[in-house]
Structure 1
Amino acid sequence: MGDLYALDFDGVLCDSCGESSLSAVKAAKVRWPNLFDGVDSSLEDWIVDQMYTVRPVVETGYENLLLVRLLLEMKIPSVRKSSVAEGLTVEGILDDWFKIKPVIMAEWDEKKDPLIDLFGKVRDEWIDNDLAGWIGTNRLYPGVPDALKFASSKLYIVTTKQSRFADALLRELAGVAIPLERIYGLGTGPKVEVLKKLQNMPEHQGLALHFVEDRIATLKNVIKEPELNNWNLYLGDWGYNTQKEREEAGGIPRIHLLQLCDFNEKLK
């Protein structure tokens, strides 16, 4: 018997909020140049600060672009094109993002795939031009590099991040090379389908299955799938979630609330 750990990346292994927020501002300037004409560095700094607060709502990276623009429209009425921005607060975004997102995408006439492509392109350009600067806006959580290096369990990364970025950060920040075939990134399908695939692999039969996430919504999706009943589910309390979500997780028997120090010990 052994253990298999399927690990989310952003909010479990890596605090990438600084990088994703700065990349989103860069990409938003490319996507909507007219809106950002009069935006000075102090307003950009304010947007990046607010992004740390609203980060728990982000499921896939491109949503950062939407949040950057929405924060701008909340702050500057003259550029406002969305019906929801007036009077909206960051707390309102945290509470209602699921409802807000389709409204603003329709009002701004935006589609998901072009935003995903743009976000990836902006990151690639940043990496090509300034790898050290890009790496420096990310950090692995304390103890994670050693936990990964000395893990006795079988490890997989299951993330909505594009695989090449997760791979680059693991190599540069942890000195760890997880084989690319063990990194299930954006485009590999919903996480519930990846977990089904992992549990059904012949080489994983008999292993205890563990899935570590920082989004309670993702864990609730797993619980809805009877086929995934054998997975032990953990919500990392150090990741991108709110006190309200951690309290909710405490009332769901299948979800174990996990602290970072315990997580690092489990991997070893």
Structure 2
Amino acid sequence: MADLYALDFDGVLCDSCGESSLSAVKAAKVRWPGLFDGVDSVIEDWIVDQMHILRPVVETGYENLLLVRLLLEMRMPSIRKSSVSEGLTVEGILENWSKIKPVIMEDWTENRDALVDLFGKVRDEWMDKDLTTWIGANRFYPGIPDALKFASSRIYIVTTKQSRFADALLRELAGVTIPPDRIYGLGTGPKVEVLKQLQKKPELQGMTLHFVEDRLATLRNVIKEPELDGWNLYLVALVAKVDQLEQVTGDTTLRKRGKKQQAFLGFSSFNSQTSVES
């Protein structure tokens, strides 16, 4: 029986944290120019460093802009306008981002679509002006390009990244061409709905279905849908997410192993028998 793999992009195939963090700083300067008066390279470097730690909370790219501004408010009390930044820590953001995000969106009177458009525009401008450095700020995890090139299974990309950026990285950095109709990016609907669409395609009937994702919350959403019981689910674990993987698998040796392999640990089978409690 043939296999179909629906693969998330960021955190599964590609480490784009460097590029997304730098793009977010660029975009934040456009969105809130006055806040960056007096912000030197030391503070910017600190923000980018913290963004690497905070990568696990980001579901959609525009959230990087919010994180940049929030970190700036944490570092510079004089510019604070949110009700949550005082006393907030990076650990606090990791634990409570889903609650913090709507609060700061309201405090700052921000619009999701406007931030999405701005983030995409800044990335487009960077690509147009200097494609080499934009590409160089990303990296595919070891072995991924060859795995995609020589895969005998049907591959789909299911991501909250804008499709044009995923496509550019696949072509320019990995040397892989995936047909546009197999890349489901931002704007194609929630991943749960994309999986439903895929399993209904006539040409995919009878295939064994696999979904590989790096966000535990996304897999929990899939599990809650009885219609998607036919999918085999996998959680990719980055070092920042070892606690999640230990919780799911019961393997308490992962943190020790993670120190030896800092970029990518692997993935664990995740199915309907796994607890979906928050």
Fold match (TM-score > 0.5): yes
Matched to 1:101, the amino acid is K
In 2: Cα distance, 1:138 partner to 1:61 partner: 14
Alignment-derived partner of residue 248 in structure 1: 247
* Unaligned runs of at least 5 residues, structure 2: 251-263, 270-278
Question: After superposition, where does 1:79-228 map in structure 2 within 5 Å?
Answer: 79-228=79-228
Secondary structure of the structure 1 residue equivalent to 2:173: helix
Secondary structure of the structure 2 residue equivalent to 1:203: helix
Secondary structure of the structure 2 residue equivalent to 1:85: coil
Secondary structure of the structure 1 residue equivalent to 2:118: helix
Question: After superposition, where does 1:59-74 map in structure 2 within 5 Å?
Answer: 59-74=59-74
Q: Contact 1:161/1:186 (CA < 8 Å) preserved in 2?
A: yes
In 2: Cα distance, 1:33 partner to 1:13 partner: 34
In 2: Cα distance, 1:134 partner to 1:43 partner: 22
TM-score (norm 2): 0.90
The one-character-per-residue Cα deviations of 1:98-149 (angstroms, maximum 9, x if unpaired) are 1000000000000100000000000000000000000000000000000000
In 2: Cα distance, 1:220 partner to 1:260 partner: 19
The one-character-per-residue Cα deviations of 1:150-194 (angstroms, maximum 9, x if unpaired) are 001000000000000000000011110000110000000000000
Matched to 1:10, the amino acid is D
In 1: Cα distance, 2:26 partner to 2:238 partner: 27
In 1: Cα distance, 2:90 partner to 2:267 partner: 30
Matched to 1:12, the amino acid is V
In the TM superposition, what is the alpha-carbon distance from 1:76 to its structure 2 partner? 0.3
Alignment-derived partner of residue 38 in structure 2: 38
Q: Contact 1:216/1:249 (CA < 8 Å) preserved in 2?
A: no
Identity of aligned residues (%): 76
Q: Contact 1:210/1:233 (CA < 8 Å) preserved in 2?
A: yes
In 2: Cα distance, 1:206 partner to 1:42 partner: 55
TM-score (norm 1): 0.93
Secondary structure of the structure 2 residue equivalent to 1:34: helix
Secondary structure of the structure 2 residue equivalent to 1:113: helix
Matched to 1:160, the amino acid is T
Runs of 4+ in 1 over 6 A off after TM superposition: none
| Count of paired positions | 256
Secondary structure of the structure 2 residue equivalent to 1:6: strand
Alignment-derived partner of residue 3 in structure 1: 3
Question: After superposition, where does 1:46-65 map in structure 2 within 5 Å?
Answer: 46-65=46-65
Secondary structure of the structure 2 residue equivalent to 1:242: helix
Q: Contact 1:10/1:16 (CA < 8 Å) preserved in 2?
A: yes
* Unaligned runs of at least 5 residues, structure 1: 252-257, 264-268
Secondary structure of the structure 1 residue equivalent to 2:84: coil
Over the aligned positions, Cα root-mean-square deviation in angstroms equals 1.5
Q: Contact 1:7/1:156 (CA < 8 Å) preserved in 2?
A: yes
Quick one: structure 1 residues 261 and 68, their matched pair in 2 at CA, closer, same or farther if it must change by over 3 Å?
Answer: closer
Matched to 1:87, the amino acid is G
Matched to 2:241, the amino acid is T
Answer 1 or 2: higher relative contact order, Cα 8 Å, separation at least 6.
1
